Structure 1
Amino acid sequence: MERRKSLDYMIWVDHSISLSIAGKENLKLFQKQMNLKSSEKDRNTMLGLFNSTNLIYAASIETMVKAYVLFKELDKIESNKIQNFRQLRKKWSGNGHNIFDIMKLYDVCFSSEEKDVLINLEPFMSWAGRFPFPLHDEHIKKYETQEKNLKLNANKILIAENFLSRLQKEMNLSIK
């Protein structure tokens, strides 16, 4: 039986890479906006580029983590023990966006720098960038009272890119 395309880890890897490329291009636009004189800066443009760049990188990382899961479950997919993505997701807690739970389940290691970047990007995997506030009231209250720690800079993007590359290497893929 031929493997379903939705369970082909390489399709997920390619999608993650394409998102990463889009994130780099978006970051260039954000940096260009940041370099303008204060009088020329547009708040909504900056906010939109900030949120969308983080959203794109968050989606890229989440997609690569799920590609890694598909790679690790390849034997079960090829033997038809896993026939669709829903069966795979049953192993994970929550809504499938909590990459820390997923990475723990599949023994994905990360450095403290990578963890900091992933913590910053994790809200963008489920709500930030799409909505101004989280969907659940307890999260809204926490978000309203804490200092926003959502930062974007070239170093954080480099760390995210290195994390993506490392997962690719662990899947024995050449880095694109």
Structure 2
Amino acid sequence: MKVRKIVTIIEEITSEGGREVNPPARVAIVAAVIENPWKGQGFVEDLSEGIEATASDVGALLAPAVLAALGATAEAYGKAAIVGLNGEIEHGSALIHTLKFGDHFRVAANATTLLPAVEKRGPAGVVFDIPLKHITDATIRSHHQSIEVRISDAPHPDELIIALAAAAQGRPQQRLADLSTEL
């Protein structure tokens, strides 16, 4: 795995809807900008070699980093794979939709749910949203949220952005009734 750079973003919301958020709502994102392991190979029928060479390593790199950046217990989480213009969306999906990648985050966060994800192809500076859901119960509405991300110089055409996001809470000032009230 060739890493060009690691980007860490921390957001703290201190006010929402004209009211104080106390403690501040905290979300962290850690993204690795890596060389696409299928760069220059044309269409690759079997992606397993690139998955084996990259997925676990990038998961092991990002999972502890995003939890350290969060500085709190994660209650919600998500992932992203943004593919440079010379790659296929399947390249990003191949890396993040495998237990070799996701289990690093699930184990580190004591989570049991599947990680919600976004996959997208775009030029350097493309804006993407990482969806987040509760780490143990994907039906908890308060934790359904997203965080917008942009890395100004990534991905280059033969790169991928692989990112993890974690939130220490649900949406600030959430007021939706529990899903069970509609069943």
TM over 0.5: no
Higher strand share: 2
Q: Which has the larger radius of gyration?
A: 1
Higher helix share: 1
TM, length-normalised to structure 2? 0.28
